[in-house]
Structure formats: C-alpha cells, structure tokens
A and B are shown apart, each in its own frame.
Chain A
Amino acid sequence: MATMTGAKMVVQALKEHGVEVVFGYPGGAVLPIYDEIFQQNDIRHILVRHEQGAIHMAEGYARSTGKVGVALVTSGPGATNAVTGLTDALLDSIPILVISGQVPTFMIGTDGFQEADTVGITRPCTKMNWLVKDTANLAATIHEAFHVAFSGRPGPVLIDIPKDVQFANATYVPKAEARPSHYAPRVRGDADQITRLVEMIEQAERPVFYTGGGVVNSGPRASALLRELVAETDFPITSTLMGLGSYPASGKNWLGMLGMHGLYEANLAMHGCDLMINVGARFDDRITGRIKDFSPGSKKVHIDIDPSSINKVIHVDVGIVGDITLVLEEVLKQWRARGSKTAKPALKTWWAQVNAWRAVKCLTYKGSTKTIKPQHALERLEALTKGHDRYITTEVGQHQMWAAQFLGFEDPNRWMTSGGLGTMGYGLPASIGVQIAHPDALVINVAGEASWLMNMQEMGTAMQFRAPVKQFILNNERLGMVRQWQELLHGERYSHSWSESLPDFVKLAEAFGCKGIRIDDPADLDEAILEMIRYPGPVIFDCRVEKHENCFPMIPSGKPHNEMLLGDADTQGVIGSKGAVLV
C-alpha cells in the first residue's frame, strides 16, 4: 500500500470516487491540497469568486448529474462562507462534500489566524462532519463521507483537515480495504405496508399522487417507475417545487405544482382527495397551509427514505420507509400480481371534478402590449427553448414561482432551485455548476434582479471557465415577493423592498466580458430570447418587466387549500390576522 501525504490522499481519494470537478477557492490552510491539484490533470478545478458560489455550484452539479458535488475551501472565512450553501443542501437533501482546510492541530484552540471552529459551526448544517486529526484516518474518512452523503436521505458532509495533517505522510487505504461503514439506512419498504397501499389504490375514489424531491434523489429509475404507476392507475399527480420533472409536464395526468403558489387544480385535488399518496415529499409548510384543515377527508400514505419525515408534521395512515425506486418496484409488482384494478366509475367522476378545476385556468393573467408581463416572458422562454437540451436554475422569489408555474419539465434533474432554505443568490452559481457538468446544454438561470446581485461576482467564474450560462433576469426593480406580502399583509407599507441604484446590466455584462441584452417592449421579446440562445457565451438578459405584478394563485398563510386566491381576485379581508404571523 502506498505511503503519501494527506494532501495527496485527498486528491487520490477524490479520483477513486470518480470525482471529475472540484469547485473551490484556495487559502493558506489548503495550500498543500492545491499543490497536489496543480500536479495532476484528472480532476478539474473551477476557481470561484466566493465560497458560497462554490457550494451552490457543487449543488447544481450534484442535482443535475445525480453524483456527489465536491467543493474545497480554506479555513476560517472560507469555511464560514460555505455555511449558507451547506444549509441549503441540507434542507433540499443534495449530496455534496465540502473539504475545508484548518489551522495545524497544535494551533487548534489558540485563535490562530483564519481559525474557526468549523466542525462546530457546521454541525447543525451538515448530515455529518469530521475533523481529521491523523493522516492515517484521512482516506477512510473521505470514503465514509461519500458513503454518508449519498446513502439514505442524501445531504451535505464536511471534512475539516488541519494543515499539518495535509503535510504528514501515512498509508493510503483504498475504499475496498476500508472498514465498512455501520451507516446503512433502510432502503426496502415493508411488504405488508406496501400491500396496504395497493389495497388503498384499488379502493380509492378520489386519489392523488403528491410527489417530491425524493423521487429525483432516488434516481431516474424512480421517475420511470412513477410514470408507470401513474399510467396504470390513471390517478392525477401533482408535485412539490423540488419534485418537478419526475412526472412530465406534458403527461395527461399532470396537475401542475401544488402549494402556496401551486395550481388551483393541484391544491383542490389535495384538499378534496380520499387517498393521498406522498412519494418522497415532506409535508412542508408551503404545501400544507393550515395543518388542521389540510386534506381533511383523506387517508394518507407516505413513502420516504427518512423515518423522521413520517408523522413529523402530518399524521399518516400508512408510512413506508424505503428508497422510492425499491418501494415503487414492489408496489408495481404487487399491484400487477393482484390484477391491477381501480374503482373506475368513481375515478371517472373524480376526473370530471379535476377537469372542472382545471377549466378555471388559474394561471390566467392580464396581458399587456406596453409592458412585459413576467408570466409572458416565461411563456415565451418556454416556447423558444422547448426543443433544447435545457436545464433551468432559479433564484428565490416571485420569478421562481412563475418559473415553476410556466416552464414545463419533462425529466428529472433538469430543474435546480433552492426550495427548503429559499436562498437568494443560489441560481447563478448553480447554473455554472450545471453548465460545467453539461457543457453543451442550454443552461438558463431564471432570476430576479435582487437575488441575482447577491452572487453576481460568479459571472467572473462563468467567463473564466467558458460556461455559457444565460442569466434571464426578470427585472422589476423590486424585491417582488417581499413587496407582494407587504401589499397584502402589511398595509402597502413597502419597507425597503425596492432596488434603487441598480447597475446597468448591459454595461455590467460588458465589464465581465460577456453579452448584455436589455428589453422592455413585449414586441422585442422573442427576438431577444433567440439572440440570447444563439450567443455562444454567457449572457446577462435584463428583461424589464411589470413592476407590481403579483404572483397568483396564492394560498395566504394560515389558510387551507380551498381558500386560495386567484389571479386579480379581490384580496380584501382574505387573510386572517393569524395568517400574518406566518412567513
């Protein structure tokens, strides 16, 4: 077995795990690792402009490939800058590995230069983290880190490596010879519970599938099995923000996204169903609205790999702990073995009801020939990019919800958004991470100008590494979602929710050396979008949109699904005083 330095071990172990790209930023405490990166050509290093960008890039890379994303940061500020990204990955269950440098072991605890208690700071925002104090344990820790990040419910992990540990020599332990991990989450669902689910499918009169990010995390096979099950049962299906693409938007059973800004038909189906089959979602508060009025008449089944998700927020009748792929395989097997029967006449009535809700056309908005409506911009973006090998990332806010409503996703891993944490500044770096993984694809970050500014320094990264990401900024010169809430909930007192002194985005693009496009006339929209697509490099697209457009439908906080607001409906008095205290 080979003896080598800790720094070399890091590179060796990353190679052993098939890592092709590392997003990072050097500094004193990681110099030995950077020295090793310099002396090899297998792993590509993408130099970011801020460590938060590195983590979101790793997330975008991971989410769009199904692999573990890797980031490398230095001690102290390098590690603390990673905290937001780690928390983002924790809430959205994205598998990433962050390697941080640390002051030498003999200096730990002395308040050394660029020293921070990185494992202490990141403990609540990682699935697991380690401080490696002995080079002999380093390789095994990296193997364990990949295993933990990827197994069970995926999540971020961090390894903190003091500089002396990087310099010291020890024997490299390959993965095959490392002590097997005791961490082995249950992946196979209980067969009896699955039988109960199949029986409920057979009897259901008003069923709905409610799917989430877990289907994407389980891999493409989970989406394929889900599609089979939906086709064979002919049940309607909706999805959370995180699960978009597992079932195709063009599929005939698709109801669209559910939740606070979800579609009318999706939310009413959830409210009125008699069987809710939750596949890899977690009853987030954006989904449930008021808990005590959440889907009052339904039996609920929850399939999740994380036992703590089951009964955490909503009590369910059947909980199935397991990997979605394996559980759906078993569901289909049992369902087919029993003769694949549903309560067809009742289903027909249910579909008639669902179609009546669909006929409301809840996404209708008032068009304009004078100003660009953000919804219209996204409809045109959808139409003009449909045939492309397309990946979409978003920032956080109104534009994110409109993107979820107006863009259609046919496959999983095509939609990268910060769902759980709601991190403004996620989309631009995430788009770069996606583009690095898929160099020939069309990668578009649908952004708001306020979110976009939070990590705009990463345009430098996009330029340096020739990532032709398209920054589609719906610029309303407002913090649109904040403004909307202030209008509806805070007496139209628009406290600090507008963007003044915005940069000239076209000049900004020029300053970065990429292309800038600005439009404010709806008549120019199509040509401008085509120009953006055709341009071979990064584009900053400043789409000046209607400034006071609100995002509807909307379930006001503290209201149940069946009390949602539609379009330009009168909102007077719709939100009770209790709702105002909810975010």
Chain B
Amino acid sequence: MNALNIKKGSSSHSAYELRDPNGDLIESHTLAVLVANESGVLARVIGLFSGRGYNIESLTVAEVDHEGHRSRITVVTRGGPAVIAQIKAQLERMVVVHEVHDLTAEGPAVQRELALFKVRGKGETRVEAMQLAEIFRAKVVDSTLESFVFELTGTPEKIDAFADLMRPLGLAEIARTGVAALSRGV
C-alpha cells in the first residue's frame, strides 16, 4: 500500500496548495481604513495582514476625529484582484473598522508622503545637492557647513527618485512618513 515514494529528507513539503497569486496582475492598492481610536486597534489591523500573509508596503495612522474617536489608517498593499478584494472584505468585517475605501479602485486619489533626507558633503557635491533639491522643491530645514537636512513632500515615486539622486551625493539617512491619501474631487 505504499502509494507514494517520497524521498527521505524531501524539503518541498508545504502544508497546503498555494494559491495562484494571479501572476502579473499584481498591483499596489492604497486603502483608507477608518477605525475606532481604541487601544489595540492598530495591532488588530496589522495582525490581519501578517496573519493572513498580505503585504504592507506603507502604513500611516493618526487620529483624524478627536470627538468621534476615529483614526485613519492608510495602508498601501500589493496583490492580485482577488487578494485585494479579500483584504478589503477582511478589513470591513472587523468589529473596530468603520469604513474601508480602496482609493486605487474607487477613482483618482491624491497620494503624498513626507520625507527628510540628511545629506553630508563639501564643495561641489554640496552645491549639486542643493541645486537638485531646488528642482524637486525640497526645503532645507537644517544645515551645517558639511550637511543639509532636506524636507520633501510628494508621491512615493518622487521621494524614491530624489533619494536615488542624493545617494551619490552623500545621502546619510532618510526618514519617511508613509503615504497619506485622499480621493480627488468632492
């Protein structure tokens, strides 16, 4: 009755059939999740992502309505259409969640992220960093004779592009806030 000849020490055993992750349909979605501002709520929402194996690319959270005890979680996640639909449904059924909006699916949305860049350098590279910062409309919020701290607001892509340019010019540290997003229009 030896139905199978599994090699000893075979390591390709996973517990369950893995779902087709929809191949090349995977895309980023920005979700706005309005939650009750209670202790443990963020842990519950994040636990859903880690527990069910969903990605988090960016996460921001802050109280947006003090009177109504509401916080807004903006989470950028990746997945195929079925996974994104499932993430939304899983969020919506949580007791602490009041509303979920898929800003990517629901129409055009504005996305902004704030980042701080510390760039160290002297002489020409310092001048070049300053010029590029002007092109990107980054603000200088701190400076010494050997460093700048630039403040830049924009889409994540713009922040990435600026970081790429600063890297050879002495980029030492970056702090990013993660994405905040709102739908466009009324």
Query: Which residues of A approach B to under 8 Å, CB–CB?
Result: 119-120, 123-124, 127-129, 131, 148, 152-153, 182-183, 185, 285, 290-291, 306-308, 310-312, 315, 487-492, 558, 571-583
Question: In the assembled complex, which residues on chain A have CB atoms less than 8 Å from the CB atom of B40?
Answer: 119-120, 123, 129, 131
Are A487 and B85 closer than 8 Å at their CB atoms? no
Q: Which of B6, B16, B44, B82 contacts A285 (CB 8 A)?
A: B16
Question: In the assembled complex, which residues on chain A have CB atoms less than 8 Å from the CB atom of B6?
Answer: 489-491, 577, 580
- A-B CB contact pairs (8 Å), 25 listed: A123-B44, A124-B47, A127-B95, A128-B96, A148-B95, A153-B93, A290-B17, A291-B19, A307-B93, A308-B89, A308-B92, A310-B89, A311-B89, A315-B82, A488-B1, A490-B6, A558-B17, A571-B3, A576-B4, A580-B4, A581-B12, A581-B13, A581-B15, A582-B15, A583-B15
Are A572 and B90 closer than 8 Å at their CB atoms? no
In the bound complex, CA of A128 to CA of B96 (Å): 8
Question: In the assembled complex, which residues on chain A have CB atoms less than 8 Å from the CB atom of B137?
Answer: none
Are B4 and A152 closer than 8 Å at their CB atoms? no
Question: In the assembled complex, which residues on chain A have CB atoms less than 8 Å from the CB atom of B86?
Answer: 308, 311-312
Closest to B89 in A: A308
Are B3 and A183 closer than 8 Å at their CB atoms? no
Closest to B90 in A: A308
Are A487 and B1 closer than 8 Å at their CB atoms? yes
Closest to B87 in A: A308
Question: In the assembled complex, which residues on chain A have CB atoms less than 8 Å from the CB atom of B17?
Answer: 285, 290-291, 558, 578, 581-582
Are B39 and A571 closer than 8 Å at their CB atoms? no
In the bound complex, CA of A581 to CA of B16 (Å): 7
Are A131 and B39 closer than 8 Å at their CB atoms? yes
Are A491 and B4 closer than 8 Å at their CB atoms? yes
Are A124 and B95 closer than 8 Å at their CB atoms? no
In the bound complex, CA of A290 to CA of B18 (Å): 11
Is B122 in the interface zone, CB < 8 Å from A?
A: no
In the bound complex, CA of A310 to CA of B89 (Å): 9
Docked complex: B58-73 residues within 8 A CB-CB of A: none
Which secondary structure characterizes the binding site on chain A?
Answer: loop
Are B93 and A306 closer than 8 Å at their CB atoms? yes
- Expressed in whole angstroms, the minimum distance between the Cβ of B155 and any Cβ of chain A is 31
Q: What 1/0 mask marks residues of chain B from 95 to 136 whose CB sits below 8 Å from any chain A CB?
A: 110100000000000000000000000000000000000000
Question: In the assembled complex, which residues on chain A have CB atoms less than 8 Å from the CB atom of B144?
Answer: none
Q: Taking A152-B93, A308-B93, A491-B5 as given, write out 8 further A-B residue pairs in contact, using a Cβ cutoff of 8 Å, ordered by the A residue number.
A: A123-B47, A124-B47, A307-B89, A311-B89, A315-B82, A489-B4, A492-B1, A580-B13
In the bound complex, CA of A152 to CA of B47 (Å): 21
Question: In the assembled complex, which residues on chain B have CB atoms less than 8 Å from the CB atom of A315?
Answer: 82
Question: In the assembled complex, which residues on chain A have CB atoms less than 8 Å from the CB atom of B2?
Answer: 491-492
Docked complex: B12-54 residues within 8 A CB-CB of A: 12-17, 19, 36, 39-40, 43-44, 47, 51
In the bound complex, CA of A182 to CA of B94 (Å): 11
Closest to A290 in B: B17
- Expressed in whole angstroms, the minimum distance between the Cβ of B25 and any Cβ of chain A is 14
- Expressed in whole angstroms, the minimum distance between the Cβ of B51 and any Cβ of chain A is 5
- Expressed in whole angstroms, the minimum distance between the Cβ of A155 and any Cβ of chain B is 10
Closest to A127 in B: B95
Question: In the assembled complex, which residues on chain B have CB atoms less than 8 Å from the CB atom of A120?
Answer: 40, 43
- Expressed in whole angstroms, the minimum distance between the Cβ of A296 and any Cβ of chain B is 16
Are A572 and B47 closer than 8 Å at their CB atoms? no
Question: In the assembled complex, which residues on chain B have CB atoms less than 8 Å from the CB atom of A574?
Answer: 3
Question: In the assembled complex, which residues on chain A have CB atoms less than 8 Å from the CB atom of B43?
Answer: 120, 123
In the bound complex, CA of A307 to CA of B88 (Å): 10
Q: Which of B3, B5, B13, B43 has the most CB of A within 10 A?
A: B3
Are A572 and B1 closer than 8 Å at their CB atoms? yes
Are B3 and A489 closer than 8 Å at their CB atoms? yes
Question: In the assembled complex, which residues on chain B have CB atoms less than 8 Å from the CB atom of A579?
Answer: 4
Question: In the assembled complex, which residues on chain B have CB atoms less than 8 Å from the CB atom of A489?
Answer: 3-4, 6
In the bound complex, CA of A577 to CA of B14 (Å): 12
Report the 7 A-B pairs with minimum CB-CB distance, sorted nearest first: A308-B89, A128-B95, A491-B2, A581-B13, A575-B3, A307-B89, A308-B90
Question: In the assembled complex, which residues on chain B have CB atoms less than 8 Å from the CB atom of A576?
Answer: 4
Question: In the assembled complex, which residues on chain A have CB atoms less than 8 Å from the CB atom of B95?
Answer: 127-128, 148, 183
In the bound complex, CA of A310 to CA of B15 (Å): 23
Q: Which of A123, A571, A582 contacts B1 (CB 8 A)?
A: A571
Are A182 and B5 closer than 8 Å at their CB atoms? no
Closest to B19 in A: A291
Question: In the assembled complex, which residues on chain A have CB atoms less than 8 Å from the CB atom of B85?
Answer: 311
In the bound complex, CA of A128 to CA of B94 (Å): 8
A182-B1 contact in complex given A120-B43, A291-B17, A311-B82, C-beta closer than 8 Å? no
Question: In the assembled complex, which residues on chain A have CB atoms less than 8 Å from the CB atom of B12?
Answer: 581
Question: In the assembled complex, which residues on chain A have CB atoms less than 8 Å from the CB atom of B16?
Answer: 285, 582-583
Closest to B51 in A: A124
Closest to B95 in A: A128
- Expressed in whole angstroms, the minimum distance between the Cβ of B153 and any Cβ of chain A is 34
Closest to A550 in B: B1
Closest to A572 in B: B3
- Expressed in whole angstroms, the minimum distance between the Cβ of A234 and any Cβ of chain B is 34
- Expressed in whole angstroms, the minimum distance between the Cβ of B84 and any Cβ of chain A is 11
Question: In the assembled complex, which residues on chain B have CB atoms less than 8 Å from the CB atom of A308?
Answer: 86, 89-90, 92-93
In the bound complex, CA of A315 to CA of B86 (Å): 12
Question: In the assembled complex, which residues on chain B have CB atoms less than 8 Å from the CB atom of A119?
Answer: 40
- Expressed in whole angstroms, the minimum distance between the Cβ of B133 and any Cβ of chain A is 43
In the bound complex, CA of A349 to CA of B17 (Å): 35
- Expressed in whole angstroms, the minimum distance between the Cβ of B132 and any Cβ of chain A is 45
Closest to A147 in B: B95
Question: In the assembled complex, which residues on chain B have CB atoms less than 8 Å from the CB atom of A123?
Answer: 40, 43-44, 47
